[in-house]
Amino acid sequence: MTTPILATESVDEAFADIDDWPVERILAGLLAHQAAAIDAVHAALPSLGAAIAAAEPGLARGGRLIYVGAGTSGRLGTQDGVELTPTFSWPRERVVSLMAGGDQAFMRSVEGAEDDSSEGAARMNATQPTADDVVIGLAASGTTPFVIAAIDAARRAGALTISVACNAATPLLAAGAHAILLATGAEAIAGSTRLKAGTAQKIALNLFSTTLMVRLGRVYRGQMVEMQATNVKLRRRSVRILMRLGQCDDAKAQRALDEAGRDLKLAILILLDGVDRLEAQRRLAAAGGRVRRARS
């Protein structure tokens, strides 16, 4: 029986002589090839939207985001999750990354780790997934045993499962409750899915997690109103956000922040609506943490 060649493993004849091209042509060719990543994500917007709608309720109740992957896909998932805390103050304990090969695989390849389905299931079971958790399995090929087994285990436990792959009709897409196909096709360097397949996954993850954070009230008027101001740059950004929203000077923004105990959402209500801290807290709690609702 002949094993079918996955689209991501096929050869793009347009790049057959890339090793004989001058630098300028290589760069231009690779850049032009990346456009297919955007096209692939655009085609997947309906499935991304459905996955977001399904994920929002559980996350609003306190569920976790659990990313599962191997190699490039795993690293992209981990990066997406890690960045949610400084940008949106998403609790660190509510982000889990399961990488084939463990933590050492973030910096170097761990041969054979992605083929270990029993390890994928065991690692997932060890996280004790719940019905409020959202599990995102990433594999460009769509055939990675570690990821498929982890998604199967999460689904059996009742978690919401989302599968992201770059090849149609693959086991990973069949395993998840929500399948997101990013059909990027052949790579400029055959089989090197760190290229446009990786770009498509990065874009899709950005759209997925950022939209969720917006829906969960962590953004107001295009501003990161729930970021953690943990350094000088971010503290200055907090002041600029208040100055921009309140059309006020630095001193007035600083006073609002001080009254709010450095809580940016509370400071916005204090500054824009003229309420005290207790009233701002009451309004924000009643609005589920959403500034726009708290102001209406």
Tokens 């054979």 correspond to 112
Q: Find, among 113, 124, 244, 100, the residue nearest to 175 by Cα.
A: 124
Is the domain spanning 7-215 CATH 3.40.50.10490? The answer is: yes
Residue 127 near residue 66 (C-beta atoms within 8 A): yes
Q: What is the rounded CA–CA span in Å between residue 296 and residue 294?
A: 6
Q: How far is CA 195 from CA 17, 19, 39, 124, 237, in A?
A: 18, 16, 14, 28, 33
pLDDT given for residue 39 in this prediction: 97
Neighbours of 133 (CB within 10 A): 24
56 is catalytic: no
Residues of the chain with CATH 3.40.50.10490: 7-215
pTM above 0.85, yes or no: yes
Q: How far is CA 105 from CA 11, 61, 78, 100, 284, in A?
A: 28, 32, 11, 7, 42
* Sequential pLDDT tens for the chain (296 residues): 445 789 999 999 999 999 999 999 999 999 999 999 999 999 999 999 999 999 999 999 999 999 999 999 999 999 999 999 989 999 999 999 999 999 888 888 787 899 999 999 999 999 999 999 999 999 999 999 999 999 999 999 999 999 999 999 999 999 999 999 999 999 999 999 999 999 999 999 999 999 999 999 999 999 999 987 888 988 899 999 999 999 999 999 999 999 999 999 999 999 999 999 999 999 999 999 999 999 98
114 is catalytic: yes
pLDDT given for residue 117 in this prediction: 97
Give the dihedral of Cα atoms 213, 81, 165, 193; nearest 10 deg. 130
Element (H, E) at 96: strand 95-99
Of 114, 119, 187, 226, the active-site residue reads 114
Q: Find, among 67, 12, 17, 23, the residue nearest to 195 by Cα.
A: 12
Of 9, 83, 259, 279, the active-site residue reads 83
Amino acid (1-letter code) at residue 129 = P
pLDDT given for residue 3 in this prediction: 57
Residues of the chain with CATH 1.10.8.1080: 232-295
pLDDT given for residue 245 in this prediction: 96
Q: Can you read off the two tokens belonging to residue 60?
A: 């609003």
Q: Can you read off the two tokens belonging to residue 24?
A: 């300028």
* DSSP for residue 166: S
Q: What is the rounded CA–CA span in Å between residue 239 and residue 96?
A: 32
Q: Find, among 200, 119, 129, 189, the residue nearest to 161 by Cα.
A: 129
In 3-state terms, what secondary structure has residue 99? strand
Tell me: the pLDDT tens digits for 183-214?
Answer: 999 999 999 999 999 999 999 999 999 999 99
Phi and psi torsions of 45, nearest 5°: -55, -40
Of the candidate CATH numbers 3.40.50.1950, 1.10.8.1080, 3.20.20.370, 3.30.2020.10, the domain formed by 232-295 belongs to 1.10.8.1080
Beta-bridged to residue 65, according to DSSP, are 95, 134
* DSSP for residue 131: T
Tokens 């874009």 correspond to 203
